[in-house]
Amino acid sequence: MSNQLSESCSVIEECYEFMLAFAGQGLPAEARGRDGLIRDFLSRAARALAGLENDYASAVQAGVVSAPEPYAAFQAVLARDARDSLVAIELVLAQPAISSQLIDNLNASIHLRALLTDLFLIDEILKGRIQNPEFRIQNPDVRIEEAPGSPEVPNQRVPHSEF
């Protein structure tokens, strides 16, 4: 996986993990000033979402895949899910105070869940390609460490059961 795509995916997934913890705190909307850290995570995720389609396209064009057609078709799905998730995150950021209940509702958003599933799918496919011995011979400059979740790098992804 390209470094930029990997970084964008990590930022989005870290935000989701933080959202799960924030939602469990039970903070009321009146807790103004206590929502700074969630705003930071959401803002970083929004920036990553804004560039996610280009990051994915760059990874595909960089030759990580030999037959780019199915990957290009999936780009449209990823772009739609990223746009929909970005709109939801921007709506939350526009609120004067962010409560745990608001974040819990964002966590439950089908748009965000679809995006996270897209990211898990991309991660598994590209990680598998990078670890393939034939790919390694043809692309000796690609480091395995670039594939989050590979045996050399502990998998820090959100378990699928947390959806």
The string of pLDDT tens digits covering residues 25-40 is: 888 875 666 668 999 9
Angle of CA points 17, 21, 25, to nearest 5°: 160
pTM above 0.85, yes or no: no
Angle of CA points 85, 89, 84, to nearest 5°: 20
Determine the pLDDT at residue 152. Answer: 42
Q: Which helix (H) or strand (E) holds 120?
A: helix 110-131
Overall domain count for the chain:
1
Predicted confidence (pLDDT) at residue 154 exceeds the cutoff of 50: no
Average pLDDT value for residue range 74-94: 97
CA distances to 85, 93, 97, 106, 118 from 36, in Å: 20, 11, 9, 17, 28
- Return the minimum-mean-pLDDT range out of 13-17, 82-86, 130-134: 130-134
- The closest alpha carbon to 4, from 50, 43, 37, belongs to 50
Domain that holds residue 119: 3-162
Longest dimension (CA), the chain: 57
Cα 149 from chain centroid?
A: 14
What b/e string do you get for 128-148 counting C-beta neighbours within 10 Å, with b at 16 or more?
Answer: ebbeeeebeeeeeebeeebbb
What is the rounded distance in angstroms from the CA atom of residue 52 to the CA atom of residue 56?
6
- The closest alpha carbon to 116, from 23, 12, 18, 11, belongs to 12
Phi-psi region of 26 (alpha: psi -120 to 50; beta: other; left: phi over 0): left
Average pLDDT value for residue range 128-135: 58
